[in-house]
């Protein structure tokens, strides 16, 4: 049984030949991808020995010894084949972007890149767009916290996103109850910040954008 967050990420994986889970840690996602038949082969990478051993243990306990390879690697840098799909989840946006940028030419030829950042999500959306990665799906789940994941592919030209899309999601519909709840929590956060710093132009602007989006809800 995987977490709601990992289930959401799993639901975004398109069938492929080879999927690479970067920073696999426990290996639950990589194992679920293989078990569900979403990839013929899975690559699990981690920067550190211990998490990679954890992944290996997860696969051994599930009696899965084929169609999986393990790489001690910084992102995909030490991975010697090109996966079709890469999942980079459960990390900060800065680290996700560092991993993508250091092997950008390899990411450009991938069919699908799935990200789920724990921090600085607006920065991730903005940077991915300016690097030429188009978002094709964005999903949200609540499991204690709100978790938001994106699916991307490369389109060879930089995309300029509006501030509203950068900050409150490109493909998150206000008609979705969970999205609405999330946006209300973002509104509370902005109001709290403005209470302590009422003249912050940036936060006043974001709050006005957010209110407009919330008002667009019809149901
Ligand atoms: C918080 S865990 C997330 C695990 C899993 N991806 C998930 O979403 O549940 C982050 C993992 O990324 C690994 N990591 C950190 N930097 C990395 C890098 N540059 N390349 C590969 N793995 C990295 C860490 O060792 C850790 O196992």
CB-based contact 49:72 (threshold 8 Å): yes
Cα 158 to averaged position of ligand 1 atoms, centre (Å): 28
DSSP 217: -
CB of 46 sitting under 6 A from ligand 1: yes
Based on the fold, state whether residues 71 and 38 are members of the same structural domain: yes
CATH of the domain at 124: 3.40.50.150
pLDDT band of residue 218 (cuts 50, 70, 90) is: confident
Q: What tokens were used for 13?
A: 């994986």
Asked if residue 195 belongs to a domain, the reply is yes
What is the per-residue pLDDT across 135-145, written as a single tens digit (0 to 9) for each?
A: 999 999 999 99
Entry pTM: 0.97
* 98 C-beta neighbours (distance < 10 Å), count: 13
Range of the domain at 197: 177-215
Asked if residue 172 belongs to a domain, the reply is no
Cα 16 to averaged position of ligand 1 atoms, centre (Å): 22
- Across all residues in the chain, what is the average pLDDT? 97
Based on the fold, state whether residues 152 and 185 are members of the same structural domain: no
| Torsion angle defined by CA atoms of residues 86, 92, 95 and 97, in that order, rounded to the nearest 10 degrees | 60
What is the per-residue pLDDT across 94-121, written as a single tens digit (0 to 9) for each?
A: 999 999 999 999 999 999 999 999 999 9
At 131 the pLDDT is: 98
Based on the fold, state whether residues 121 and 188 are members of the same structural domain: no
Cα 1 to averaged position of ligand 1 atoms, centre (Å): 20
| Structural domain count of the chain | 2
Based on the fold, state whether residues 133 and 209 are members of the same structural domain: no
Q: Which protein residue has the closest C-alpha to ligand 1 atom 17?
A: 47
Based on the fold, state whether residues 98 and 182 are members of the same structural domain: no
pLDDT band of residue 219 (cuts 50, 70, 90) is: confident
């Amino acid at each position: 049984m995987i977490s709601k967050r990992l289930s959401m990420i799993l639901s975004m994986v398109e069938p492929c030949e080879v999927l690479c889970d970067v920073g696999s840690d426990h290996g639950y996602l990589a194992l679920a991808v293989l078990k569900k038949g979403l990839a013929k082969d899975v690559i699990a990478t981690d920067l550190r020995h211990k998490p990679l051993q954890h992944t290996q243990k997860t696969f051994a306990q599930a009696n899965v010894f084929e169609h999986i390879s393990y790489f001690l690697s910084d992102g995909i840098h030490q991975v010697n084949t090109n996966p079709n799909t890469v999942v980079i989840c459960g990390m900060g946006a800065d680290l996700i972007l560092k991993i993508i940028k250091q092997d950008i030419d390899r990411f450009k030829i991938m069919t699908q890149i799935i990200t789920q950042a724990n921090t600085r999500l607006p920065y991730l959306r903005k940077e991915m767009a300016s690097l030429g990665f188009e978002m094709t799906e964005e999903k949200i789940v609540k499991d204690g916290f709100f978790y938001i994941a994106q699916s991307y592919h490369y389109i060879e030209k930089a995309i300029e996103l509006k501030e509203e899309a950068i900050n409150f999601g490109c493909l998150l519909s206000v008609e979705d109850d969970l999205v609405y709840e999330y946006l209300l929590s973002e509104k509370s956060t902005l109001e709290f910040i403005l209470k302590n710093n009422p003249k912050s132009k940036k936060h006043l602007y974001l709050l006005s954008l957010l209110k407009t989006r919330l008002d667009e809800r019809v149901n």
